[in-house]
Amino acid sequence: MLPVTESPAPFRWGILGVARINRALVGPLASNGHQLLAIASRSVERARTYAETQGIARAYGSYEALLGDPDIDAVYIPLPHSMHVEWAVKAAEARKHVLVEKPISLDGAGVRVLMSAARTHDVVITEAFMYRHHALVARARELAHDGTIGRLQGVRGTFSFVLDRAFDTRLVPEFGGGSLWDVGCYPVSFARTIVGHRPLSVQAVANWGAGEIDLSFFGQLQFPGGVVAQVHSSFESPFKTEVEIIGSEGRLLVRHPFKPEPTETIEVMKANEAYTVTVDGPLLYQGEVDDVRDAARAGRAPLVTLEDSLDNVDTLTALLQAARSGNTVALDA
């Protein structure tokens, strides 16, 4: 007789909100052993229409109703930035694992609340930094430290695009708007990951446009050992993502650091030598979805831990404080 191999039950997801980013997640949330079981919206009609077009079995007219569904294992939260902590806590209280969009919180206190909720309710809560799940990042970090480019001196990263919609919550201060929160969080996260440390202090300059949110942001981070990172984010210059890692004997160029394709490259440039390192990874967004399930089932920490998110959020709030005050801002150790 052939051995019977039982495949595990699908890991069942719900989404809170009919957000634009859902386009990118509905595939990963419904494949590779996952099932996208439910969608919730503030409008039941919107939820029903979305469920019908995407083949989602259950539609709810409130986020609370979805969280009350006992068949759901985990939720994906793509709400406006200022709503992330509140709904991640409610999801944890309902004993759902949580994948919450970046930035996970607009201050360090919010991340600490999430740490406590994850512990109390024994669930995984992780920030949806999809790029972190590609092997590109780990490989770039190895090359930055293994002598390939000599002694690591600095990291430069940029994420810009033109945000020209008439209304977008990312342009509204009360929702946690601003280019640093929306896209500057990526080069800050990448630089911290490469250096492997929390910055000691930061300086910054921003273009505040006509309002209270930054339309463009230029920040500088000082790390132990004299390593420096420079980050740029913008809502007012054409789409560009890039990271350069600078060493005493050469540099690494990562052309698609934040939205990597399954096969990516790192360009190594030295005085008398240049070559390309090829790195394979999962489809963008599949890695973060798989990691929530695998961490939940194994009882292990997710790849992007809340401690890591705390360092990122603390760095972002320090950068904003530095840009507003014009002073160097030191981070607590």
Ligand X SMILES: NC(=O)C1=CN([C@@H]2O[C@H](COP(=O)(O)OP(=O)(O)OC[C@H]3O[C@@H](n4cnc5c(N)ncnc54)[C@H](OP(=O)(O)O)[C@@H]3O)[C@@H](O)[C@H]2O)C=CC1
Residue 35 or 41: the one with the smaller Cβ distance to ligand X is 41
102 is catalytic: yes
Near ligand X by CB under 6 A, which window of 16-24, 153-161, 220-228, 230-238?
16-24
- Binding partner of residue 81 among ligand NHF, ligand X, none, CB under 5 to 8 Å per kind? ligand X
Helix (H, G, I), strand (E, B) or coil at 204: strand
Q: Binding residue for ligand X (CB under 6 A) from 31, 46, 255, 269?
A: 46
Select from 19, 80, 113, 161 the one that contacts ligand NHF (CB under 6 A). 161
The DSSP 8-state label assigned to residue 255 in this structure reads S
Task: State the catalytic residue, choosing from 96, 102, 240, 270.
Answer: 102
Structure tokens at 87: 């709904």
Using alpha carbons, select from 82, 73, 121, 122 the residue that is nearest to residue 101. 82
Amino acid, res. 243: V
Tokens 């759901």 sit at which residue? 72
Count of residues touching ligand NHF (by CB under 6 A) = 3
Binding flag, residue 183, ligand NHF (CB under 6 A): yes
Pairing mode, strands 125-127 and 58-60: unpaired
Go through the chain and tell me how many residues it has: 333
Q: Determine, following the binding rule CB under 6 A, whether residue 41 of this chain makes contact with ligand X.
A: yes
Q: Which residues contact 139 (CB under 8 A, 6 or more apart)?
A: 266, 277, 279
Q: Do residues 211 and 249 make contact, with C-beta atoms less than 8 angstroms apart?
A: no
* Residue 3 DSSP code: P
Q: How far apart are CA 212 and CA 210, in angstroms?
A: 7
With CB under 6 A as the rule, give the number of residues binding ligand X: 19
Smallest distance from the beta carbon of 115 to ligand NHF, in angstroms?
A: 23
Give catalytic residues, as residue numbers.
102
* Footprint on this chain of ligand X (rule: CB under 6 A): 17-21, 41-43, 46, 78-81, 101-102, 128, 130, 169, 182
* Footprint on this chain of ligand NHF (rule: CB under 6 A): 161, 182-183
